Structure 1
């Protein structure tokens, strides 16, 4: 399948959105990168201002959808909430029965704007707390942390969550993006395609690794326990969460950025514990895998992002939904690309 959105070189550890290295894009705002993914070009100042203003104005999800979250929050998890509310949003979208590129772009922008509100509202209701209305002036990431925690984030925290959303925004034809494109290829509506992506991302082999990394850090709890933990995993032939990748044969470029972000937030909070545990795990994993299996193993995107989430006080069970909050821009970009030159995706099976 041809695409002009994301380029990956797994041998060299290169990831680019629309021709730009993700390491450099991580220093921009999420709005800028979201625009780049969807429109295929960097925005002019006035284009970015209009795009950002629209996203801010569309943040609210309304009291009816908040009530729905309140009714069901005790029995479901965040990804189920995202699926449910996304489905309901489709029925009241102003462009419901329109499927042209302009209408689909507007639908996509509404979902990008509302995902943070859905995720944070669900999380607060789940914890028995009042929902916090969006702030209509904060950045995309700062507003997310504000709605989640009830207080304004520091400048560094706001920058880090923006970078997180950017690093999560796209990764070529991963399972959830392929699922979204497949739904799109049937000429179904955009909300249905995004729900297809959400259903796929919910699977623990795709979107569940960040939560597993956070739980792993809690289990180890001290840098001194890292070596034995890794050895135990190798001896039991168990997967070490946050390591290895189907595409990258070297260091995941996103992991490099996340590692630096984790170091920065640890230093700001004057609490190096989680970062030091992670570094010990990384070092032990590299050493033991070379010794026992003859080749190194490297962190992937989920490893140090899990460390970052620990420092940002993001609940582990919310990790996959936060991932989706960043990935939504990539899904929208891929769906729009699929609509623009559509051919039904219909793989063949090899009978055995």
Structure 2
């Protein structure tokens, strides 16, 4: 197994999972990328078919889980429900206390398969609609959109959703991955480690930034308002959501792909409104902060992904939970690596001064 789960060059804008460049990975199915992260190598045709079959067979959720979803507050962000339900479903996993490699793999497959179903079921329940059972014939992205909207998505939207999950799947030792690894380092179960990741991802400075981008686009409303908005934010020294990254000092390679996908969606729908609004925001930020002040603040993964969600009629309340659907494979890959170490993560307090 390749021990380098993720490689980032923040100066050159390079991102790789298991030494495979992100621009190559987005041309693969999500299942293949998930397999790569967890198993350490790309699957062959037969291996991918078997892995996908196992994932597709575990997509369903039982009546007790649906009862918990219906008891959730249906007026809050979907992450509130997701973290509760993921914790709850652990009780029904026959491998909960099986910490063998095989037992953990079975749990991993169930988690990856069921999280999209939970998110879609919560959304439909919150909107007074009956949940849509998963379709085992559809890809990870297409099946999620089908369960979410009740009809099979067009090929472009299915492709974009699949790529979204891939671009969200892994990103080195970010806050939520570190949180998951800390939990796994205690040899706690995989469900507990994933819940730790969910709780951390929920924050607006991490996964929650995506929904904030969508709210910002709504507030700006049109390209004509974008430059003024940016200038006012900079003058007040306020953060512009979707810009800047702790690692990248150039354009986030995921942001580049998301920008291409958002333009593709805009052109296909014959509606350039949100794309042009976002591009005007980007141009103003780059002009003011990069060109005039020399600060390497470019669009990150959240900016144009928020534009994509606008075009796909995905509400801000779902944005972070959709991020989690993609990221769960990365969390699991790191947990598996941590389990192998059998060593607890215990930082010293003085390290907080560096944060």
CA change 1:18–1:74 in 2 (3 A) is: same
The 5-angstrom pairing of residues 167-316 of structure 1 reads 167-290=167-290, 293-316=293-316
Deviation sequence 1:5-59 (CA, Å, 0-9, x none)? 0001111111100001112101111001000000000101111001001111100
Q: What secondary structure does 2:349 align onto?
A: coil
- 2:158 maps to 158
Question: What displacement does 1:292 show?
Answer: 5.3
Query: Is 2:331 the partner of 1:331?
Result: yes
After superposition, the C-alpha distances for 1:299-333 in whole angstroms (9 at most, x for unaligned) are 00000000011111111011000000000000111
For these two proteins, the number of residue pairs brought into alignment is 351
Q: Residue 4 of structure 2 aligns with which residue?
A: 4
Secondary structure of the equivalent of 2:350?
A: coil
Contact 1:73 1:125 survives alignment (8 Å): no
Q: CA RMSD in A?
A: 1.4
SS state at 2:88 partner:
helix
CA deviation after TM superposition for structure 1 residue 101, in Å: 0.9
Distance, in Å, in 1 between the alignment partners of 2:234 and 2:97 is 54
Structure 2: tracts of 5 or more residues without a match: none
Task: Kindly provide the CA deviation profile for residues 83-108 of structure 1, in whole angstroms up to 9, marking residues without a partner as x.
Answer: 11111111110212200111101101
Offset, 1:76: 4.2
TM-score by length of 1: 0.97
Counterpart of 2:87 in structure 1 is: 87
Measure the CA separation in 2 of the matches of 1:99 and 1:70: 31
Q: CA deviation at 1:297?
A: 2.0
Distance 1:230 1:33 in 2: 37
TM-score, length-normalised on structure 2? 0.96
Consecutive aligned runs of 4 or more in structure 1 exceeding 4 Å deviation? none
- Tell me, what secondary structure is at the counterpart of 2:173? coil
Give the deviation of 1:71 after TM superposition: 1.3
The Cα shift of 1:3 comes to 5.1
1:349 matched residue in structure 2: 349
The offset of 1:247, in angstroms, is: 0.3
2:244–2:296 CA contact under 8 A, matched in 1: no
Alignment of 1:41 onto 2:41: yes
**Residue 73 of structure 1: CA displacement?**
3.4
- Deviation string 1:187-226 (CA, Å, 9 cap, x unpaired) is 1011000001011111111111100100111111111111
Q: Partners in 2 of 1:162 and 1:339 — Cα distance?
A: 29
